[in-house]
Amino acid sequence: MYIQYAGFNNVGASSRVYNFDVIETGATRQFTVQVQSEAFRPASLMLQDGPGICFARLEQELQGETEESRAEAHLMIGERDIREYLQKHYPHKPAWKKKENSSASPAIEPKSRW
């Protein structure tokens, strides 16, 4: 199985819909994953996270698929998905590490996550 990102569409100002093709032996299925625009706010997802969180959500859905219960073609990103994605990709430093690093170097930390 191969999951291919196929772009996104804005649905008004309310959300983005990310498109994926899932290619299996002899067949291609199309999936969409929708993210509400409000998820892309300070201290949450960045626009660059959109394809990644949607890919992870689709992959999770496909892994739970059985012959009797196929993955839905249209998925939504919820608050739980966002929390789990942020914890995995942007883990918080423990308070003692922040203090330790700040005393060793007076450099200013960048605002972006990169």
Q: What is the percent of the chain where pLDDT is above 90?
A: 68
Quick check: is 71 in a domain? Answer: yes
* Average pLDDT of the segment spanning 70-94: 91
Structure tokens at 68: 């009797």
Quick check: is 9 in a domain? Answer: yes
Block residue for tokens 């995995």: 88
Q: What is the percent of the chain where pLDDT is above 70?
A: 81
Q: Are 20 and 9 in contact (CB under 8 A)?
A: no
Residue 110 has pLDDT above 60, yes or no: no
Quick check: is 84 in a domain? Answer: yes
Quick check: is 56 in a domain? Answer: yes
Q: Are 39 and 86 in contact (CB under 8 A)?
A: no
Quick check: is 11 in a domain? Answer: yes
- pLDDT tens for 32-42 read 999 999 999 88
List the domain range (segments joined by +) for residue 55.
2-97
pLDDT interval class at 108 (50, 70, 90): low
**Structure pTM?**
0.78
Closest CA to 77 of 54, 51, 47, 49: 54
Which helix (H) or strand (E) segment is 23 a member of? strand 15-24
Number of domains forming the structure of the chain: 1
Quick check: is 109 in a domain? Answer: no
Residue 43 has pLDDT above 90, yes or no: no
Question: What are the residues whose beta carbons fall under 8 Å from the beta carbon of 17, sequence distance 6 or more?
Answer: 8, 9, 11, 32, 33, 34, 35
Quick check: is 15 in a domain? Answer: yes
- pLDDT tens for 55-76 read 999 999 999 999 899 999 999 9
Quick check: is 113 in a domain? Answer: no
- pLDDT tens for 15-28 read 999 999 999 988 99
3-state secondary structure of 54: helix
